[in-house]
A and B are shown apart, each in its own frame.
Chain A
Amino acid sequence: MMNKRGFILMFISGFRYIIAETFKGLYRNRWMCITSTGVVVVTLLMLGVFMLVNLNVGHITETVKEQVEIVVYIDDSAGQNELAELENMLSGHPGVAEARYISNEEHMNRLQRQLGGMLEGYDSGMENPLLASYEVKTVVPESVVDLAREFETYPGVSEVFYGQGYVENLFSVTRVIQLVGLALMVGLSITAVFLISHTIKLTVMMRKKEISIMKYVGATNWFIRWPFLLEGLLMGFAGAVLPLLALYYIYQYSVEWVIVNNLLFLNLLPVEEVIFELAKYLVPLGTALGILGSTFSMGRFLRV
């Protein structure tokens, strides 16, 4: 390794050259650079589209999960002590986020509101056949099934309802979507690395003569590497920013389309939030891919 002072002196004296050479290199090999950047753009665009879908699927399922709750119906015959014990057990449970008591009157009111005039003939003086309950929200939505089974054993509990069948399906579908999403993202990232390093390798190969001349006239490896690294960085950066711009407009259009077509149940994330989230991953990823692609592609040509 060159000592630190030598490296700094070399860097300062060659800084102008390196910057100029980076842009000249990009201009001289503009078609190859456009191709390399194009490959980064296409790959990151695919990755970005998938991330958009995944983010929104995640958001929608999270919203649905938040609505999942356990309804613990209280036995009519339960005494005051049992009720107090049940309330303590539910609200003191570490897996419970919130346990709200709903009296049988409140249940009846809700039913009347829901059914409107269909509940004719019932007045408040009549015996209320509905059971009081606790509506329990869990800390982790996935623990609903286990907790519901546990609550069934609690004193004073008549019945526990949590949307049996529906919740299990929701969780298994979410798991599958997450796993498929992860696999696709890993696959696309690996493909991106291969495509980009291959394309940059072609760029470097086209300039191997130039590199070997530099070696013969006494250029250090770092002096040769810098312009290529900067080129890789710029190509990777452009390759990440362009799909981000495209995704911004595509996503904005999709959100407007959902609103216009009254598909509000889709509950898409806001544009700014999504693009910021994508930028957080795509810009460093594209830039890193560009730099890594250049570094790996150059190794062989520097051994002259």
Chain B
Amino acid sequence: MVEAKNMCMRYSKCGDNALEDISFFIDRGEFVFFVGSSGAGKSTLLKLIIREIKPTEGELKVFGRDVGRLPRHRLPYLRRNIGMVFQDFRLIEDRTAFDNVAFAMMVTGATRREIRKRVPHVLGLVGLQDKAETRVCDLSGGELQRVGLARAIANRPAMIIADEPTGNLDPGTTFDIMNLLRSINLRGTTVLVATHNRDIVDRFKKRVLYLEGGKLVGDEQKGIYTHVH
């Protein structure tokens, strides 16, 4: 599903490599943590997968397509198969939870009937069926991230990418969100999570890719964060 071969990424011509000689393969339905300290290259890797940036060297295939060669007009169709979850939620504050999820479906051309059926369903999956008509500015941090998750799964993507999804949450809410991601994964969706939260990595015991200084220094099945730190 995601395959990197000797991939390098440099933000400027004379700058250091943000990622250096990265190779890995992630199969369909896997749950993978990308771990490492700030600046290790986790977010860069996720940006490459959604083709926000292109690798400067090497190859990165997502859903079997080389994203470095993907024309710009094909990007929306790649991204419709990827649900994004952000640390800062990136919701539209003056709209309701329903509107935020519906928004993601509308932009991909879903009909109103589909939206009316699907949005309450996904809000129910994340436990927010009663908050559908609440404006997101009136929701708590945990609830905001649940809306973010609901939006990410609304279009039934094959893969969820979460960049520090629990970075702004308290420990209790963190585990709720991670459990939701695990249940999404159990339904067959590939989940990639970038984090430096050792507790969740250690507790979930999923595949862990360790990044340090832009290099992939470890790849363990059922890994724990403390192996390299």
Query: Which A residues lie at the B interface, using CB under 8 A?
Result: 1-2, 9-10, 13-14, 16-17, 28, 209-210, 212-221, 223-224, 304
Contacts and interface: CB of A to CB of B under 8 A. Distances in A.
Contacts of B108: 217-219
B109 A1 contact: no
Nearest to B161: A216
A70 to B, nearest CB: 68
A220 B78 CA distance: 11
B90 A2 contact: no
A216 B81 CA distance: 11
Given A1-B73, A213-B103, A304-B52, A218 B79 contact: yes
B166 interface: no
Contact of B50 (A10, A216, A223): A216
A14 B103 CA distance: 12
A105 to B, nearest CB: 85
A220 B111 CA distance: 16
A28 B94 contact: yes
A217 B151 contact: yes
Q: How large is the interface on B (under 10, 10 to 19, 20 to 34, 35 or more residues)?
A: 20 to 34
A63 B98 CA distance: 67
Main secondary structure of the interface of B (DSSP, over half): loop
A281 to B, nearest CB: 36
24 contacts: A2-B73, A13-B110, A14-B109, A17-B106, A210-B92, A213-B91, A213-B92, A215-B76, A215-B79, A216-B50, A216-B79, A216-B84, A216-B90, A217-B80, A217-B84, A217-B104, A217-B155, A218-B80, A218-B107, A218-B108, A218-B155, A220-B73, A223-B107, A224-B107
Nearest to B50: A216
Q: Which 4 A-B pairs have the closest CB atoms?
A: A218-B80, A219-B107, A218-B79, A13-B109
Contacts of A212: 90
Nearest to B110: A13
Nearest to B112: A16
B183 to A, nearest CB: 21
Given A10-B109, A17-B106, A223-B107, A218 B76 contact: yes
Contacts of A28: 94
Contacts of B50: 216
A209 to B, nearest CB: 7
User: Which of B94, B107, B112, B151 has its CB near the most chain A CB atoms (within 10 A)?
Assistant: B107
Interface string B65-103: 000000001001111100010000011101000000001
Contacts of A221: 73
Contacts of A2: 73
B94 A217 contact: no
Contacts of A215: 76, 79
Nearest to A214: B107
User: Which of A217, A224, A304 has its CB near the most chain B CB atoms (within 10 A)?
Assistant: A217
A213 B90 contact: yes
Interface of B: 50, 52, 73, 76-80, 84, 90-92, 94, 103-104, 106-112, 151, 155
Nearest to A216: B84
A1 B79 CA distance: 17
A215 B52 CA distance: 10
Contacts of A16: 112
Contacts of B151: 217
Contacts of A14: 106-107, 109
User: Which of B77, B78, B79, B106 has its CB near the most chain A CB atoms (within 10 A)?
Assistant: B106
A216 B88 CA distance: 14
Nearest to A20: B106
B227 to A, nearest CB: 32
B178 to A, nearest CB: 21
Contacts of A9: 109
Contacts of A213: 90-92, 103
B9 to A, nearest CB: 17
Nearest to A21: B106
Nearest to A210: B92
B111 to A, nearest CB: 7
A210 B94 CA distance: 11
B92 A209 contact: yes
A304 B52 CA distance: 6
Contacts of A223: 76, 107, 109
A161 to B, nearest CB: 73
A214 B79 CA distance: 10
B103 A217 contact: yes
A210 B92 CA distance: 7
A16 B90 CA distance: 25
Contact of A217 (B73, B77, B79): B79
